[in-house]
Structure 1
């Protein structure tokens, strides 16, 4: 648990079940768009409903998704992602070649979809955005000179902000509510800081 939010680390079985580009896409769409049927997902990903139904069952077999209670029929089932966060192990955390390959597929596809979503946002014509939603987003990159301890402290502060937002807005509905993507990134650039030999400067790019 992190600030009340359940975190699930995927085991080898769940990782292998997810290790297919279309399954990662379906998993991501259920998070971004909420509950869907095999037919609605088929329309979104350009596949047949038979294909999406097969992949949905594979995901459900490892509790990666679940059927929505009290919704749908025997012919048209609704599926959703359980609440909470998932932790996808990196390839170097896996002990077998098959598990490492599965982790590589899942991680690569998640980040590919993340970049795809970001670029769709960047290239979206303003005319397609309701006026009240214009200028609500921010893309910011800041380069800092930190010690490992400071990086951990900053990471914890950012996590606390995100967790607080999750608790405040979880399950919110209404005519003005729209799903948004909240992203937080903090990582070192693998090169020593020059702060010891020159004044430290912060470079910032914002769009």
Structure 2
């Protein structure tokens, strides 16, 4: 059974295992689907089932995913699920050595490149979404003047609000209220900059 908590990634090996472009994409798709087979995921990423199976085993080897209950009568199918609600990767856990700093930076850049790719895809497909979804979706930029403590407080409040909506969506889905629900990505970045 998958944990409802976020799994903190604190070791270099697990960070490197996740920081592979295809693995990160497969992990994200599995988090969205909640359970899937290598074959189902391979169709979504347009890769060979054997390659996706290899990457699933790598993710499982680091405790990021686990086998799930079979969803069909086909005994040959191996079903997977995330081992937790998601992962958290903190900068503070990867500052002890140059190799750790470099690995954390590479993983973070890959994650943000994939976020940008998701958003570009949304922009390309915007015309296919209803007026209601186009009105609801959006992006914004806020240029604030804060202390590090205020930014940390703002981040925590935003995460709390996000968790509230995540729980609301999961509860509604568990109650069978699926009509009108879509997968939604919310990417929030808060960082200092100088002009």
Is this a same-fold pair by TM over 0.5?
A: yes
Deviations 1:131-150 (CA, angstroms, capped at 9, x unpaired): 44231112010112223343
Distance in 2 separating the partners of 1:179 and 1:52: 22
How many pairs are equivalent? 186
Aligned 8 A contact 1:71 1:77 in 2: no
What does 1:49-198 align with in structure 2 at a 5 Å threshold?
A: 49-72=49-72, 73-90=74-91, 93-96=94-97, 99-126=100-127, 128-170=128-170, 172-173=172-173, 174-191=178-195
1:36 aligns with 2:36: yes
TM-score w.r.t. length of structure 1: 0.76
Distance 1:125 1:167, change over 3 A: closer
Distance in 2 separating the partners of 1:112 and 1:87: 17
Deviations 1:157-205 (CA, angstroms, capped at 9, x unpaired): 22221122122222542132211112222222135xxxxxxxxxxxxxx
Larger helix percent: 2
Runs of 5+ in structure 1 lacking a partner?
Answer: 192-207
Distance in 1 separating the partners of 2:101 and 2:149: 30
Distance in 2 separating the partners of 1:171 and 1:80: 19
Runs of 5+ in structure 2 lacking a partner?
Answer: none
Deviations 1:100-147 (CA, angstroms, capped at 9, x unpaired): 454344222211110100111122242x11444231112010112223
Deviations 1:23-76 (CA, angstroms, capped at 9, x unpaired): 111112222344222112212222110110111111111111122224244422
TM-score w.r.t. length of structure 2: 0.80
Larger radius of gyration: 1
